[in-house]
A and B are shown apart, each in its own frame.
Chain A
Amino acid sequence: MDSLNLGQLALSLTPGPGGPMLSGAAPCPVALSAVINGYRGGMLKDLRQVLATGALESIDQAVVVARPDPDDDLETLRSEWESLTGLPAGDDVYVLKASWDRKRFLIPRAALLSILDRLEAVR
Chain B
Amino acid sequence: MARAARLGTLARLGGNARYIFLNRVGAAADVVTLLVMAADAARQIARLPANSQNTGMIASLLIGQLVIQGTLTVVSARDAFGGDLRANPHISLDDGLDGHGLVVRAAVDMPGPARLGGTAPEVPTGAAHGPDVHPLTNVRTDPSGVTSGNLGPRRVDEILTAMARPGRTRARGATLTRLGENQFQMVVVTPSGPQTIDIAVSVADTSRLPPASVHVPNSGGASMAGAARLTLDPPAATGGRWSASIVLDNRLPRANAEINLGDELDEIAGIVHARPTATRAEIAREMDNSLFRRGAAANPAVTADDRATAGALFELHSRRIQAQRRARLATASSADRAAAAAEEATHQTSQARLAGYMALDEASNADQKVRILRETGVDPNRLERVPTDVRQQVMDEWEQFLHDLRLQPAAATLAAHGGAFGAGGIGPTAFTPETVAHLMAPQPHAAVPRSAPAQFRRSGVSGGHVDSALLDLQNNHPEYGYFFRQEGTPITRGDQTYRRYTQFMWTGAGPPPAPGTAGHPTGPGPLHAGWVESVQPKTTIANLPAFLEDSERALWQYVRHPSRQYSAGGAVIGTGQDRFFGPGAQAGSNLPFTQTLPNGPRISGFFDFDPTAVGAARFRLRTAFIDASWIP
Bound pair (A, B)? yes
Distance (Å) between the CB of B407 and the closest chain A CB? Answer: 14
Distance (Å) between the CB of A119 and the closest chain B CB? Answer: 10
Q: Is the CB of A71 within 8 A of B451?
A: yes
> Does A70 count as interface, using CB distance less than 8 angstroms?
yes
Q: Is the CB of B623 within 8 A of A14?
A: no
Given contacts A61-B627, A71-B446, contact A23 B588 (CB under 8 A): yes
Chain A positions within 8 Å of B454 at CB level: 69-71
Q: Is the CB of B458 within 8 A of A102?
A: no
Contact with B along A1-22 (1 / 0, CB 8 A): 1100000000001111111111
Q: Is the CB of B579 within 8 A of A15?
A: yes
Distance (Å) between the CB of B291 and the closest chain A CB? Answer: 26
Chain B positions within 8 Å of A100 at CB level: 435, 438, 462-463, 606, 622-623
Chain B positions within 8 Å of A64 at CB level: 458-459, 536
Q: State which of A28, A42, A59, A70 has its C-beta within 8 Å of the C-beta of B535.
A: A59
Distance (Å) between the CB of A81 and the closest chain B CB? Answer: 15
- Complex CA gap A97/B535 in Å reads 15
Chain B positions within 8 Å of A1 at CB level: 586
Given contacts A61-B627, A100-B606, contact A41 B592 (CB under 8 A): yes
- Which chain B residues (538-591) contact chain A, with CB distance < 8 Å? 539, 564-570, 573, 579, 586-591
Chain A positions within 8 Å of B564 at CB level: 17
Chain A residue with minimal CB distance to B389? A73
Given contacts A14-B587, A18-B567, A25-B589, contact A62 B625 (CB under 8 A): yes
Chain B positions within 8 Å of A59 at CB level: 458, 535-536
Q: Is the CB of B568 within 8 A of A2?
A: yes
Distance (Å) between the CB of B583 and the closest chain A CB? Answer: 13
- Tally chain B residues at the interface, Cβ within 8 Å: 49
Distance (Å) between the CB of B330 and the closest chain A CB? Answer: 8
- Complex CA gap A28/B608 in Å reads 14
Given contacts A38-B606, A71-B446, contact A102 B462 (CB under 8 A): yes
> Does A34 count as interface, using CB distance less than 8 angstroms?
yes
Q: State which of B536, B589, B625 has its C-beta within 8 Å of the C-beta of A33.
A: B589
- Which chain B residues (454-498) contact chain A, with CB distance < 8 Å? 454-455, 458-459, 462-463
Given contacts A15-B573, A122-B569, contact A61 B592 (CB under 8 A): no
Q: Is the CB of A98 within 8 A of B573?
A: no
- Complex CA gap A20/B399 in Å reads 35
Q: Which of B454, B573, B589 has the most CB atoms of chain A within a 10 A radius of its CB?
A: B589
Chain A residue with minimal CB distance to B393? A73
- Complex CA gap A28/B458 in Å reads 23
Q: Is the CB of A41 within 8 A of B593?
A: yes
Q: Is the CB of A17 within 8 A of B586?
A: no
- Tally chain A residues at the interface, Cβ within 8 Å: 44
Given contacts A24-B589, A59-B536, contact A19 B568 (CB under 8 A): yes
Chain A positions within 8 Å of B623 at CB level: 62, 99-100
Q: Is the CB of A14 within 8 A of B588?
A: yes
Given contacts A64-B459, A73-B392, A99-B463, contact A24 B568 (CB under 8 A): no
Q: Is the CB of A102 within 8 A of B399?
A: yes
Distance (Å) between the CB of B12 and the closest chain A CB? Answer: 57
Contact with A along B599-617 (1 / 0, CB 8 A): 0000011101100000000
Chain B positions within 8 Å of A37 at CB level: 588, 590-592, 606
- Which chain A residues (56-103) contact chain B, with CB distance < 8 Å? 57, 59, 61-62, 64, 66, 69-73, 76, 97-100, 102
- Complex CA gap A122/B572 in Å reads 11
> Does A115 count as interface, using CB distance less than 8 angstroms?
no
Given contacts A16-B566, A99-B459, contact A61 B536 (CB under 8 A): yes
> Does B364 count as interface, using CB distance less than 8 angstroms?
no
> Does A43 count as interface, using CB distance less than 8 angstroms?
yes
Q: State which of A14, A19, A41 has its C-beta within 8 Å of the C-beta of B594.
A: A41
> Does B452 count as interface, using CB distance less than 8 angstroms?
yes
Chain B positions within 8 Å of A20 at CB level: 567-569
> Does A107 count as interface, using CB distance less than 8 angstroms?
no
- Complex CA gap A25/B589 in Å reads 7
Chain A residue with minimal CB distance to B621? A100
Q: State which of B396, B536, B592, B625 has its C-beta within 8 Å of the C-beta of A38.
A: B592
Chain A positions within 8 Å of B609 at CB level: 14
Distance (Å) between the CB of A23 and the closest chain B CB? Answer: 5
- Complex CA gap A38/B539 in Å reads 18
Chain B residue with minimal CB distance to A35? B590
Chain B positions within 8 Å of A40 at CB level: 592
Q: Is the CB of A23 within 8 A of B589?
A: yes
- Complex CA gap A122/B571 in Å reads 9
> Does A30 count as interface, using CB distance less than 8 angstroms?
yes
> Does B628 count as interface, using CB distance less than 8 angstroms?
yes
Chain B residue with minimal CB distance to A123? B567
Q: Which of B393, B536, B590, B627 has the most CB atoms of chain A within a 10 A radius of its CB?
A: B590
Chain A positions within 8 Å of B570 at CB level: 122-123
Distance (Å) between the CB of A80 and the closest chain B CB? Answer: 11
> Does B400 count as interface, using CB distance less than 8 angstroms?
yes
Chain A positions within 8 Å of B579 at CB level: 15
Chain A residue with minimal CB distance to B604? A61
Q: Is the CB of A34 within 8 A of B459?
A: no
Q: Is the CB of B458 within 8 A of A57?
A: yes
Q: State which of B393, B587, B590 has its C-beta within 8 Å of the C-beta of A98.
A: B590
Q: A14-B591, A122-B569 are in contact. List 5 more A-B contacts (CB 8 A).
A: A17-B565, A34-B606, A37-B606, A98-B590, A123-B570
In the complex, 12 of the A-B residue pairs with CB atoms within 8 angstroms, ordered by the A residue number, are: A1-B586, A2-B568, A14-B587, A16-B588, A16-B591, A17-B565, A23-B588, A34-B592, A59-B536, A69-B458, A71-B455, A73-B392
Chain A residues within CB distance 8 Å of chain B: 1-2, 13-25, 28, 30, 33-34, 37-38, 40-43, 57, 59, 61-62, 64, 66, 69-73, 76, 97-100, 102, 122-123
A-B pairs, 6 with minimum CB distance = A24-B589, A41-B592, A69-B454, A71-B452, A14-B588, A15-B568
